[in-house]
Structure 1
């Protein structure tokens, strides 16, 4: 498979696996796992679960790795969440909540889920995570035994591996965390689906919009200009290319085999996502 085809496959597989990963954030089971352990509110569970593979970190490395979140929003949860739920416990909670959500959503699709998990594990074994801190931290956890746990972990490993590359592409494009969201909101994901979930104030949002407008990337009405759209398209292309290595040796028929089991799984999980959502995923996959 050439580089362009592998990059296309990387984006396709992301669309199939991102809904599986995202149940940890949007399912009632995922939220309840953390709330029942004493972490009230969406933010605290989110930061505890997603940053737990890094250990008991403070807000600075998490702000850097997660990129799009306001520093103040991160600091309100970290490191205080570790006093309630240590990282090891947070890992157990996110797995428990995700497994429960997948068991409900994939009822009747157990065979497809198990087969998808095994195919993903096969392709991700020995995944190169150089320069990818979140990808490496999740890879170091190893693959669990339970089929639903294996499926969720594989989807999560792919998501964080790709996300690390996306952050690098955004930095290369000269965008900071808030600017990346303001530009995205001018293209396809509404502001009210991005700003509240990332914690930026109206003043910070307006300042970022002003910086983008000064570069000719954002119009006065908040929509991305042609130059802004072109820049974001280059970011997405670079993200796909950076995520392509696991798929470069994959034959077209292997992609189809993976899709045959992952598509129904992805559709079932995507039904749990709000529309529109911060990832820009539709339910029709």
Structure 2
């Protein structure tokens, strides 16, 4: 995209803060201490916990990009190992442990202003039609700055993600098609993305065939001009429907938020795996996408 919107700029900064919950060793340790071993048990328990002790079906709908068979392996079995309440505690404890060292250089007054701005932005997130954002927004706010910062980033992240799923569905894409199409753009390989999302070879090949028939992939598996235009349109839509949160905050407040959040996002990025299937650009590098 030639010009970065405010919504995209902020996404680059709050996404790494949220994503420590998936990649930081302290977060994995918190779930292990709560009795969950294995990355995916912690992932599905932590991310689905705001929905309550649900089965696979609602999570298949909310998470979109994951194969139903992969989700069904985790849910509802995960709730025999940990309650949603304990999963929520573990994910927040892990986020605090991961973010704490990253904020040691942040002045208390600056952190107080940042958490206030992030909370205000998150409280302006509209939730009708956005299931994961709504579920997280309904949780009680933590009382400490670290907890508030992570919780706000999580609401904003799921708010944008719910909107992105709506844009993908409107474009006529399903889960494996979205994965195959994303891989065709470069930056992440098929083996990594397909394995992480749980799609079988047959499902992936079938999705690739549908994209070719649609005119979105060429004979070499690369994106066509139509695919690139669709990518731009979907990203524009995602930014547009995420932007009211930042419009409500106002330009001056957004700039103060950017100034305080940028160094924290850069430190958080060091805890993540790059490249990764989340899709957010590394805030330590170029802002272009």
SS at 1:74 equivalent: helix
Which of 6, 11, 14 in structure 2 is aligned with 1:17?
A: 14
Q: Superposition pairs for residues 48-127 of structure 1, below 5 Å?
A: 48-109=45-106, 111=108, 112-127=110-125
The equivalent of 2:171 in structure 1 is 173
Shift of 1:223: 1.7
Question: For the residues of structure 2 that align with 1:249 and 1:8, how far apart are their CA atoms?
Answer: 15
- In 1, distance between residues paired with 2:57 and 2:25? 29
State the secondary structure of the residue aligned to 1:194: helix
Contact 2:49 2:84 (8 Å CA) reproduced: yes
Q: Residue 110 of structure 1: CA displacement?
A: 5.5
- Deviation sequence 1:9-58 (CA, Å, 0-9, x none): 11111111000000000001111111232222111110000000000011
Distance in 1 between residues matched to 2:37 and 2:148, nearest whole Å = 27
CA distance in 2: counterparts of 1:114 and 1:279, whole angstroms: 28
Range that drifts further, 105-114 or 71-80? 105-114
- Aligned pairs (5 A) from 1:198-213: 198-213=197-212
Partner SS, residue 43 of structure 2 = helix
User: Alpha-carbon deviation of 1:126?
Assistant: 4.5
Structure 2 matches for 1:1-285, cutoff 5 A? 8-109=5-106, 111=108, 112-190=110-188, 191-280=190-279, 281-284=281-284
Distance, in Å, in 2 between the alignment partners of 1:251 and 1:78 is 41
Contact 1:134/1:161 (<8 A) preserved: yes
Separation of aligned partners in 1, 2:217 and 2:52 = 38
- What is the alpha-carbon distance in structure 1 between the residues aligned to residue 197 and residue 101 of structure 2? 28
Shift, 1:226, TM fit: 1.2
Q: Aligned residue pairs: how many?
A: 280
CA distance in 2, matches of 1:47, 1:249: 32
Deviation at 1:244, TM superposition (A): 1.1
Secondary structure at 1:142's aligned position in 2?
coil
Provide the C-alpha distance between the structure 2 equivalents of 1:117 and 1:27, rounded to a whole number of angstroms: 21
Cα separation, 2, equivalents of 1:164 and 1:11: 15
1:160 deviation in Å? 0.4
1:189 & 1:21 partners in 2: Cα distance?
21
Q: Following the alignment from structure 2 to structure 1, what is the Cα–Cα distance between the partners of residues 28 and 161?
A: 22
SS at match of 1:248: helix
The 3 A distance-change label for structure 1 pair 37 and 142 is: closer
Task: Say which is worse superposed, 229-238 or 68-77, in terms of deviation.
Answer: 229-238
